[in-house]
Chain A
Amino acid sequence: MLVAISGCEQRLSTVHPAGPAAEAIATLWWVMLIGATAIFLLVAVLLVLAFRRGEGPSGPEAETRRERVWILGLGLGFTLTVLAALTIYGLVIGERLLASPQPGLVTVRAEGAQWVWRFSYADAPGRVTEGVLHIPAGRPVDVEITTADVIHSFWAPRLAGKLDAIPGHVNVLRIEADTPGDYAGVSAEFNGRGYTNHRFTVRAHDEAAWDAFLRGETR
């Protein structure tokens, strides 16, 4: 089942999300980009104006007034306000992306090794796939991530952020694909000479195909 993905250039793109987690983060990015551009322009304008005006008044009173405007107002007040708002927004999104209990949740396991990914399935005990992770589309999936050797990181950018595979630990990442299809995944923590080609595919099935996979009819 080789689904041709529209625009091969977006296979690993975080700004072409195909699931709720990647979607939320992409939105966060666009918001931050707009905010950052505005702040950058503000600083640039202040700098340009600094060169266009003459020397200001001097004396201790003028100095105190300047400190109030530049340091208390802009330096402390402005930065604190912007950063507080952004931090809260970021934390709310992060909280929403956590692997919380949900109906229809599917659990799979991903084990990284130099340089292959092996996947197993709670709903199909004994079933192991190599290089392709099968999931149902439209349902939340918890990926339990671990490693057989060094540190790796599980990353399917169009579905969700990345999470590391650390020896002795199991990390759980919530992913979800909105529609059936193939989604590219890569190892995203440098792991030696085979790093560049340490890839996998997340194959999201519709309901019928997922049942067929669980019954062992799909390879």
Chain B
Amino acid sequence: MNALRRHRELERIWSSRPGWRGKLTTVNNNDIGLMFLFTAATFFVIAGILAMLIRAQLATPRSVFMGPEIYNQVFTMHGTIMMFLFAIPLFEGLTIYLLPKMLGTRDLAFPRLSAFGFWCYAFGGSLLIFSLLAGIAPESGWFMYPPLSSTLGSPGINPDFWLLGITFVEISAISAAVEIVVTVLIYRAPGMSLDKLPIFAWYMLVVAVMILTGFPPLILGSLLLELERAFGMPFFQVEAGGDSLLWQHLFWLFGHPEVYIIFLPAAGVVSTVLPVMARTTLLGYGWVVAAAASLGVLSFGLWVHHMYATGIPHMGLAFFSAASTLVAVPTGVQIFAWIGTIWKGRPEMHLPMLWILAFFATFVMGGLTGVMVAMVPFDWQSHDTYFVVAHFHYVLVGGFVFPMLAGLYYWLPHFTGRKRYFRLGETAFWLIVLGFHGTFLLLHWAGLLGMRRRIDSIEPGSGWELINLLASIGGFVMAIGFALVLIDVGVNAAVAVRGRRNPWRAATLEWAMPAPSPSYNLASLPKVLSRYPLYDDPDLPLRIARGEGLLGNPRSGLREILTVEIASGRPNYLVIFPTNSALPIVMALITGGFFVGMLIKAYWLLPLSVLAVTALAVWWAWSLGSSEDEGPQPVGHGLALPPASEMERSPGWWGSLFLLLANGVFFGSLLFGYAFLWTVAPNWPPPTLLEPGLAGPLLALGGAALAFGGIRLADRAVRRDAAPWLGLLLSLAGLAALAAAAVTVLARTTHNAHAYDATLWVVAGYVLFHATVAGLMTVFLTLRASAGYLSRVGEVRVVRLWTDYAAIAALLGLGAAWLPVALS
């Protein structure tokens, strides 16, 4: 087979259906990555327009352009869209597009999940934009502090759009994170051991784990606040045992890692682009990886620095202040490693390099003011002023947007296959950088002069007028710059001349394919010998196209890909990926039905959408795997690999493991909330405590033992080619007992009586939910066994993981519910 025929054959297998309709059913990472990027850019434009409205309002004193009811929606939505609908989806899109290419593989781990995530993002984001257009957008600020955001401060529907819309969008963050982790761990080119990972992949691995541990507290907080607003469960109402501080803890437990979740992908871009621009390799690869990982860990220890002014004891603040400054150390390591890299090489001044220099100047200033606000006494003055507004714009624009623009111009030839011809980008660069500093530099000073954030007008004689006028002018200059970037990219994508492959002479594998990228990414999977495969062998692209790597001979219409051992990168299993499907978009639509049902209080929609989602999930899972035991298949070079879905550690098992990691953090945050209310909230202990009784604890213990033992029995039976019926039945009975135990807790408490009761409802509901999910999976397994699918243990292991999780959650959760009475 020659290169052209191989290309045609692989295109036929991997591409989406033609035309725009094809995008509705595509599951290919090239399509979905670009769809994320376009959608994120659209939201950026919307939030940018809102920013211009803010600057128009504040340009002159006593402006009557917008009243507070509009202005509050505008600044709330500016922050919300920028954080949730622009920044995170933008780097997700870039990663979805680039990561498989850099890793030398053909797609992400779970293609249909990518598509599902994208549609959840698009639909959830649309809900928020609808609320903005209808004039009923959230107006409590992007961090939504109750009681202002609860029924007391906002009786209307506005905050519900935020709570439900953002949670809907977060599905996409969680699913992208699961994909990224599993892809980096097991979907790589043969021979790419962990020490040969492209630096960007290390960064994204850290970021993805951070998303899995950082987002669940926010999802929990949103759920609790929505339950309070919809059903009067008083988690944040002090008179009924709640505490509004709980929200702040949950929000910032998410919100601070979030800042680093946004910064680290950008740092990954810098670590990738800067060495190429300096014609050298990254200085201190191992140190930079360690710095990124420790940044990820440390970022979870400093959420309280958003709460210095809430009256937490000073010694507690001292700990968080020290942690907040400590986080600057790994940042410093990275900054100096980058500067050292430039010293090492021969820097060339292309547009991506200009953006990296702008990043240095801006981000270093933002980092330094960040250290300032980490100082508790200074924060008492600067908190909630324009000093903080200026600080975080320096960090987010300087530390995220500028590196992303460096990345945009660096990978533009890859996206378009063209040489950048029209040079609007350089003009745009100067407009944006000068406009940015013109906007925000002096606003630090306005903050020190007492200008609070979120005020809807400035008064004459405050001393802030000139600064604000200059800031507004700077803001509009910056906006013109961003418009020029969009035009520049559009024009260069549409009409510039064709460019050559790998124009920057980079070493990573994304440049080892034609541009724009073919749908299958790599015609064959090359053997990777070092961190810089294209420096080792400049002819590698040719050899890949000629099919000299693995999987170079496409088999009858199957999307073939292979997994590797985590540490060594030795190929171990073959995976057949699903093809184009309408399932993801339909499932996202029906999931949307659930959120819309909550939003408009059409509660009859909820059970309907839950049932439909369950049915679709069964369909989704059923189409995986094969009823025949195929055994090892040839992948080229005389190597034959067995199918991964039959193995004990299948990709589905890995995906479940990391999804359960996020789930465990969610549950842990719930138990933290319970303990927090018990110890800190004023109106505790509650008037009446739940009596455990005998039935509940017995059901829980017995159920856990049965579920635990039953699934293992089934597992053993399948491994010995025996019938698994008994084990599955026992496990199912155990899960039913766990559900019954949870129901005893629900039956003995009133959901809205006290924050204690409300919390127990959520805990018991969580246990009930997981017992049900594991139960459905067991039923699914039974059906699969009777249809002859269970010749190997792969699917049993996935269900075993979920069953174990349900049992442990039940013991912990219900135990925590019964413990107080048992102790008293």
Point out residues on A near B: beta carbons under 8 Å.
8-15, 22, 24-25, 28-29, 32, 36, 39-40, 43-44, 46-47, 49-51, 53-56, 63, 66-67, 69-71, 74-76, 78-80, 83-84, 86-87, 90-91, 93-95, 97-98, 114, 145, 149-151, 153, 157, 160-164, 166-169, 171-172, 184, 186, 188-196
Residues of A within 8 A of B309 (CB): 153, 161-164, 188-189
**Complex Cα spacing A167 to B243, Å:** 8
Roughly how many angstroms separate A45 CA and B743 CA in the complex, as a whole number?
67
- Scan residues 429-485 of chain B and give those whose CB is less than 8 A from a CB of chain A: 448-457, 461-463
A35 to chain B, nearest CB (A): 8
CA distance A109 to B457 in the complex (A): 29
Cβ contacts under 8 Å, A67 to chain B: 283-284, 287, 340
Closest to A172 in B: B311
The answer to whether A8 touches B376, judged by C-beta atoms less than 8 angstroms apart, is no
- CA of A13 to CA of B381 in the docked complex: distance in angstroms? 10
A94 and B318 contact, CB distance less than 8 A = yes
Q: How far is the CA of A108 from the CA of B329 in the complex (A)?
A: 42
Q: Is the CB of A13 within 8 A of B340?
A: no
A79 touches B376 (CB 8 A): no
Asked if B776 lies at the interface with its beta carbon under 8 angstroms from chain A, I say no
- A66-B343, A168-B683 known; A150 vs B317 contact (CB < 8 Å): no
Which of B237, B336, B346, B454 is A70 in contact with, Cβ under 8 Å? B336
Does the CB pair A188–B383 fall under 8 Å? yes
Chain A residues with Cβ below 8 Å from B384 are 153, 162, 188-190
Residue of B nearest to A64 (CB): B284
Q: Is the CB of B452 within 8 A of A36?
A: no
Residues of A within 8 A of B245 (CB): 166, 169
Instruction: Judge whether A193 and B69 touch: CB under 8 Å.
Output: yes
Q: In the complex, A58→B310 CA distance in Å?
A: 53
B336 touches A196 (CB 8 A): no
**Cα-based distance from A44 to B339 in the complex (angstroms):** 10
B368 at interface, CB cutoff 8 A: yes
CB atoms of B244 and A167 under 8 A apart: yes
Extra inter-chain contacts (10) besides given A87-B325, A189-B384, A195-B456, CB under 8 Å: A12-B449, A43-B335, A50-B347, A66-B283, A71-B287, A75-B333, A93-B375, A162-B380, A189-B309, A190-B454
**B: which residues have CB within 8 A of A?**
68-69, 72, 140-141, 145, 147-148, 152-153, 237-239, 243-245, 280, 283-284, 287, 291, 309-311, 314, 317-318, 321-322, 325-326, 328-329, 332-337, 339-340, 342-347, 357, 360-361, 364-365, 368-369, 371-372, 374-385, 448-457, 461-463, 681-683
A67 to B237, CA, bound (A): 54
Taking the nearest CB of chain B, how far is it from the CB of A27, in angstroms?
10
Contact B364 A164 (CB under 8 A): no
In the complex the two chains form, is A25's CB within 8 Å of B377's CB? Answer: yes
Contact A161 B347, CB 8 Å, known A40-B365, A188-B452: no
With A149-B153, A168-B681 known to touch, is A25 a contact of B311 (CB < 8 Å)? no
Contact A71 B333, CB 8 Å, known A13-B449, A83-B326, A90-B375: yes
In the complex, 23 of the A-B residue pairs with CB atoms within 8 angstroms, ordered by the A residue number, are A8-B461, A9-B462, A14-B448, A25-B381, A28-B377, A32-B371, A36-B368, A47-B360, A70-B336, A71-B333, A71-B337, A75-B333, A75-B337, A86-B371, A94-B377, A167-B237, A168-B681, A169-B245, A169-B311, A192-B72, A193-B68, A193-B72, A195-B454
CA distance A161 to B383 in the complex (A): 9
Residues of chain B within 8 A (CB-CB) of A97 are: 377, 380
B377 to chain A, nearest CB (A): 5
A71-B337, A188-B384 are contacts. A149–B68 as well, Cβ < 8 Å? no
Instruction: Specify which chain A residues have a CB less than 8 angstroms from the CB of B357 in the assembled complex.
Output: 47
Q: A56's closest neighbor in chain B, by CB? A: B344
Q: Which residues of A contact B374 (CB under 8 A)?
A: 90
From B147, B148, B322, name the one whose CB has the most chain A CB atoms within 10 angstroms: B148
Q: Are A164 and B380 in contact (CB under 8 A)?
A: no
Q: CA A147 – CA B229 in complex, angstroms?
A: 21
A189 shortest CB reach to chain B, Å = 6
Closest chain B residue, CB of each to CB of A39 = B368
A215 to B457, CA, bound (A): 39
Q: Are B238 and A55 in contact (CB under 8 A)?
A: no
Bound together, the chains give a CA A195 to CA B340 distance in angstroms of 48
Question: Chain A residues with Cβ under 8 A from B147's Cβ?
Answer: 149-151, 167
- Tell me if A186 and B452 are in contact (CB < 8 A): yes
